[in-house]
Amino acid sequence: MQLRYAFRLYPDTGQQRALARAFGCARVVFNDAVRAREEARAAEQPFPKAA
């Protein structure tokens, strides 16, 4: 039997800022990785595998 839980968080102002900063940094890293793959594809090189 599998159980599933649903949670709703209500962070305060400081926690909202910290979460926004963390997810913003993650988005920048993800976008940089996507850009590196696109540039490698355009140059017909193998995809980068590590940072």
Determine the pLDDT at residue 2. Answer: 83
Residue 38 maps to a domain: yes
Q: Which residue segment(s) compose the domain that 29 sits in? A: 12-51
- Location of structure tokens 């355009």: 42
Report how many domains make up the chain.
1
Residue 2 maps to a domain: no
Q: Any residues with CB less than 8 A from the CB of 48 and at least 6 apart, and which?
A: 33, 36, 37, 40
Residue 5 maps to a domain: no
CA proximity to 34, closest of 45, 18, 19, 48:
48
Residue 3 maps to a domain: no
CA proximity to 11, closest of 27, 28, 23, 3:
23
Determine the pLDDT at residue 12. Answer: 97
Angle at 8 between CA 26 and CA 1, to 5 degrees: 100
Tell me, yes or no, if the pTM score tops 0.75. no
Residue by residue, pLDDT tens for the chain (51 residues) are 788 999 899 999 999 999 999 999 999 999 999 999 999 999 998 887 776
